[in-house]
Structure 1
Amino acid sequence: MYGESDIISIEKSLRYIAGRVRANGREILKDHDISPLQFVALQWVGDKEGITIGKLASHMYLAHSTTTDIVDKLERANFVKRVRSDTDKRQVLVIMESRGKSLIQKVIDKRVAYIAEITANLEESDRVILPRVLEEVLRESERLIND
């Protein structure tokens, strides 16, 4: 078991690394007419293969009206589109357009390059174990959320 100072150090490291990876990838957004918050919404839309504005608002911890404004801007920029659900015509889903997929891929490619750069000088044994340890931590965090 870790001591409190170890847990504090892990939390800080994860937070700083995640923030730096995110910031590095978001440099690309300067070349597109999209804010970081709009990009987060775009990622949720891409992850969910059709999501309602209500669910998107819930995932982003935003008001429905704020989320609607974000989706409106993304739709005007041809990053997403709204479609009626095939199973329930009352539902309107937000789905990704090819322009949105392309932007997400550019950001991910930049993030991957950055992660490769910041891990390049790790010892070989650490480079081998790091992905496995992070995947296990992720699985455990998901298990705790779903319990």
Structure 2
Amino acid sequence: MADEINNIRHDHSQDDVAFLEKELRHISGIIKQRGRQILNAYTITPPQFVALQWLFELGDMTIGDLSNKMYLAFSTTTDLIDRMERSELVQRVRDEQDRRVVRIHLLKEGERIIEEVIDKRQQYLKDILDQFDQDEAANLAILLKKLHQEMKKN
């Protein structure tokens, strides 16, 4: 019985779906715009920020892995890494087990920038969430987590 309940698909009206898509698109745009305003205080570009974020979250990775995560061409990612290496945000490191493999390693300055920017982004979100009561914020967290999990399945 529980499996049957979990497999039930709810019919959602096209208007409801359109409304949710529009709201999520607008929220995403506002977050992106605020993120770029925060980045203006730093010497990195938005694509560099995204690359630093992936390295911060996942650790050292190859240019190929980073290219795939960022949906960029290998050559574009190589140019991005070259610029970030000159700014001493990252460095190329040969793999100990396989010297043919080169991994990108996040340096202290890159880590510092990521931590500061993320802190400022989180403070912005906290300021917005202060307009929600605890139940609203908890429900939002639960629903966003569920939405994210469902999206990762597809």
The reply to whether TM is greater than 0.5 is: yes
8 Å Cα contact 1:22/1:111 also seen in 2: no
Q: Which residue of 1 aligns with 2:148?
A: 138
Q: Which residue of 1 aligns with 2:130?
A: 120
Q: Distance in 1 between matches of 2:15 and 2:110?
A: 41
3-state secondary structure, aligned to 1:108: helix
**Paired amino acid for 2:42:** H
Q: For the pair shown, which has the larger CA radius of gyration, 1 or 2?
A: 2
Q: Distance in 2 between matches of 1:89 and 1:19?
A: 42
Of 115, 120, 126, which residue of structure 2 is paired with 1:110? Answer: 120
Q: Distance in 2 between matches of 1:57 and 1:68?
A: 9
Q: Which runs of 5+ in 1 are unaligned?
A: none
Give the percent of matched residue pairs that are identical in Structure 1 and Structure 2. 38
CA-CA distance at 1:94 after TM superposition: 0.6
Q: How many residues align?
A: 144
**Paired amino acid for 2:19:** S
Q: Which residue of 1 aligns with 2:58?
A: 48
Q: Which residue of 1 aligns with 2:100?
A: 90
Q: Distance in 1 between matches of 2:18 and 2:95?
A: 45
Q: Which TM-score applies when normalising by structure 1?
A: 0.88
Q: Distance in 2 between matches of 1:26 and 1:133?
A: 26
Q: Distance in 2 between matches of 1:86 and 1:140?
A: 38
8 Å Cα contact 1:80/1:96 also seen in 2: yes
Q: Which TM-score applies when normalising by structure 2?
A: 0.84
3-state secondary structure, aligned to 2:141: helix
Work out which structure has the larger RCO, using CA pairs closer than 8 Å and 6 or more positions apart in sequence. 1
Q: How does 1:11-90 map to 2 (within 5 A)?
A: 11-90=21-100
Q: Distance in 2 between matches of 1:28 and 1:122?
A: 24
**Paired amino acid for 1:136:** K
